[in-house]
Chain A
Amino acid sequence: MKKFWKNVLVFSVLAVTVPLIVLLLIRLTPKPPVGEMEHARQTLSKAVTSKADTYSKKLFNQAKVNYDSAMVNWQRENKKFIYLRDYEKVIMFAELSAKKAGQATENSISSTSNLKIKLKQEIGLLNNLVSEIDALFTTYPLSAEIRNRISKGKMILEEAQIAYEKGQYIQANRKTTDSEYLLTSSYENASANLKNYFKSYTVWKKWADKTINESKKNSDYSIIIDKFSRKFFIYQAGSKKYEFEAELGKNWVGDKRVKGDLATPEGMYKITKKIDRNRTKYYKALLLDYPNEEDKEKFRSEIALGSLPRTAKIGGLIEIHGDGGKGVDWTEGCVALTDKEMDVVFRIAKVGTPVTIVGSMVDLENVMSR
């Protein structure tokens, strides 16, 4: 009987102490960083959703590296004897990861929003630039290289717009930068060329005014050709009577310098000969007194300065003739009109009628703002 009570006592003691020891063992186990790691993971996931891996790459990568370090350290600690584990480093990395991921998310949201605004503005500005280029330079003889660059710039701008609409802002940004480079450099090049062309505007204006005044004074006809706008004006007694579209030499920009340069000369000329339809291949023609004394003087000084070779020839046979209406500058330096317009000019013109050819009758500022 005594033995029975002894066994009961032993079992009772064991029944109390064993669970107590187990409980104590559990209680003494170091607490794993589950909460901290979960927080870090969720913050990283949020960063991915906000595309921080694209728009805040550096911060996102730092967050990712810190998370991976936390995991590596956690696994390393797990290999140690349970009561010797220390998760402090794991928690430190997890907190750092969450912090960086949070920053990456904020940064990404703000960068995306800023980039979106910036792109919208840039695409708008580039579209305006394209319109300006089209308005100014469609008929201006730009080099093939510049034309190609403009065309390529327009195409890349289109690609940028498509990427922008798809929300691919990084690609859109890259395309916008490429397009901007091509379009801006081409525009600057073409504008510099245009500015250089308009350097003589004050002289042109003087010639045009003088021609109109003479027409008024003599109550007679005078002709003014505006190369830039390709307009052919006939004045009668100081008033504009007719306005036609003119076609010029293939290289109409700038004054004629030498034979074969395909440029239409600029200056104050007079009709020296009327050539009827069976004596010219261009329907009817009016021969001008190019080169005049001023042209000859200029040519001689260019030869003397060495800007033209000694073997160069000044050229001649600049006419106003028919066979025009092709819509493109095709002559070798002459001014072409349609046959119908040529009939009008031929009827009113006589030997001695003044023909003034100017680069433009409108100044560059007005041309650019048109």
Chain B
Amino acid sequence: MKNKVLMGLAAIVMVAVLSSCGKKPQVEIDATNAAIEAAKTAEAAVYVPAEFAAVQDSMTAIMADVAAQESKLFKKFGPAKLKLDATLALANQVAANAAVKKEEVKKEVETLLTEIKAVIEENTTLMKKAPRGKEGAAVLEQIKTEMVTIEASVVEAQGLYDKGTYMDADNKVKAAKERAVGINTELKEAIAKVKGRK
């Protein structure tokens, strides 16, 4: 009788041990979530959107894995822990990549801003040499208005750059440069035409 009781207890203990041998990896989950949050703060969604989406998807899959293990009688969180470690490393990498990309865009905007300022300056000099005969002066009046718009756009782009919104600044300064270069070409062609006639 004593033996039977002992064996019954042993079976219950065995079941209890087996069913609770895995503990939810909350520390790893929190650490990975914090790394993803850090990547978000580093504007990974703006600068490396595909990589950031992959990290988020990976975390969603892990959380489903964890919930699936929690649903089982015999839990096993080992693989989830490994995946969490990998995702944490990936999130850190994505944050670093976002910072690199952001720096790249920042540098590009800086270069564009320097270039456009030089083009604007050159255009101002060219305006003085541009032919005024026939319809030239009327066209120059129009160009003057366009140059005012370009300069205002550069100021806006500089403002966006100062605020750290480099992607928006990039689009704006590129558009302004496109127009400034267009005017530059137009003015150079007009001056060359007059020189050719002389």
Contacts and interface: CB of A to CB of B under 8 A. Distances in A.
A7 B133 CA distance: 121
Interface stretch (A150-158, A210-218, A359-367): A150-158
Given A29-B73, A152-B149, A171 B67 contact: no
The main secondary structure of chain B at its interface with chain A is helix
A355 interface: no
A299 B108 CA distance: 62
A38 interface: yes
Contacts of A34: 64, 68, 71
A151 B146 contact: yes
Contacts of B11: 14, 18, 21
B71 A327 contact: no
B82 interface: no
A154 B67 CA distance: 55
Interface in A55-110: 67, 71, 74-75, 77-78, 82, 85, 87
A168 B175 CA distance: 14
A325 B171 CA distance: 41
Contacts of A74: 67, 71
Of B4, B71, B149, chain A has the most CB atoms within 10 Å of the CB of: B71
B171 A138 contact: no
A178 to B, nearest CB: 12
B136 interface: yes
Interface string B135-179: 111111110011011100100000000000000000110111011
Secondary structure of the A contact surface, majority rule: helix
Nearest to B176: A155
Contact of B132 (A77, A150, A327): A327
A154 B142 CA distance: 12
Contacts of A29: 71-73
A138 B137 CA distance: 10
Contacts of A26: 73
**Interface size range of chain B in the complex:** 35 or more
A147 B148 CA distance: 11
Contacts of A316: none
B189 interface: no
Interface stretch (A41-49, A193-201, A301-309, A344-352): A41-49
B142 A147 contact: yes
B57 A41 contact: yes
B153 A155 contact: yes
B9 interface: no
A317 B61 CA distance: 88
Contacts of B139: 138, 327
Contacts of B60: 41, 44-45, 67
A79 to B, nearest CB: 9
A328 interface: yes
Contact of B134 (A77, A147, A245): A245
B15 interface: yes
A16 interface: no
B134 A327 contact: yes
B28 interface: no
Given A74-B67, A82-B73, A138 B135 contact: yes
A148 B70 CA distance: 66
B67 A32 contact: yes
Contacts of B132: 326-328
A26 B18 CA distance: 12
Contact of A14 (B7, B68, B72, B140): B7
Contacts of B67: 32, 37, 71, 74-75, 78
Contacts of A325: 133-134
A3 to B, nearest CB: 11
B17 interface: no
Given A159-B175, A245-B134, A38 B70 contact: no
A25 B16 CA distance: 12
A194 to B, nearest CB: 16
B26 interface: no
A159 B172 contact: yes
B137 A327 contact: yes
Given A45-B57, A48-B57, A151-B146, A139 B179 contact: no
Nearest to B61: A41
A8 interface: no
A125 interface: no
Interface centre among A21, A32, A48, A159 (most CB of B within 10 A): A159
22 contacts: A10-B3, A14-B11, A25-B73, A26-B73, A37-B68, A38-B61, A44-B57, A44-B60, A82-B73, A139-B138, A147-B142, A155-B153, A155-B176, A158-B175, A161-B175, A162-B178, A163-B171, A168-B171, A327-B131, A327-B134, A327-B139, A328-B141
Given A41-B60, A49-B53, A139-B135, 13 more contacts: A14-B11, A26-B73, A32-B72, A48-B57, A77-B71, A154-B146, A158-B178, A162-B174, A162-B178, A171-B171, A326-B133, A327-B133, A327-B136
4 closest A-B pairs by CB: A32-B71, A328-B137, A327-B137, A158-B175
